[in-house]
Homo-oligomer: A and B are copies of this chain.
Amino acid sequence: MGILENPDEYYMQTALREARAAMDEDEIPIGAVIVDSTGSIIARAHNQTERLHDVTAHAEMLAFTAASEAMGAKYLPDCTLYVTVEPCPMCAGAAGWTQVGRIVYGAGDPKRGYSLLKGPVLHPKTTVTDGVLEAECTALMKEFFKKKR
């Protein structure tokens, strides 16, 4: 899928590559990329909670920190976060602080997703698209947890 044909799928494929890198490192396979208003990828990251022994080292958190560094700015209103799995409350809260313009995710997370919460988590101007390459994103998670059993 080319970038012009379907940009959301194109960037989600990049996030999926990050998720697969996590899988190869025996981390929960979640990947994220952040794209600026010109379409450039300014941050890419995958879950590193095991390697860093740090439960806050989710793909999105690492990507936000890298994006702020890349932009030299605290706020990311013109950027889009692509992430293979629905953000948890921590990452959604972080997204709220960054004022990221748009969030696109693949698989929903019915146990830990931020959408379980009622109340203000994201910035009011942030828009959300879900279900992009959902099957691929879900398959990777299922494969990981099946191996762990």
Contacts and interface: CB of A to CB of B under 8 A. Distances in A.
Contacts of A93: 88-93
Interface string A42-74: 000000010001111000010011001100111
A149 interface: no
A113 to B, nearest CB: 10
25 contacts: A53-B68, A53-B72, A53-B73, A53-B74, A54-B64, A54-B69, A55-B75, A55-B97, A55-B98, A56-B61, A56-B94, A56-B98, A88-B97, A90-B90, A90-B93, A90-B94, A91-B93, A92-B93, A93-B93, A116-B120, A117-B119, A117-B121, A118-B118, A118-B119, A119-B119
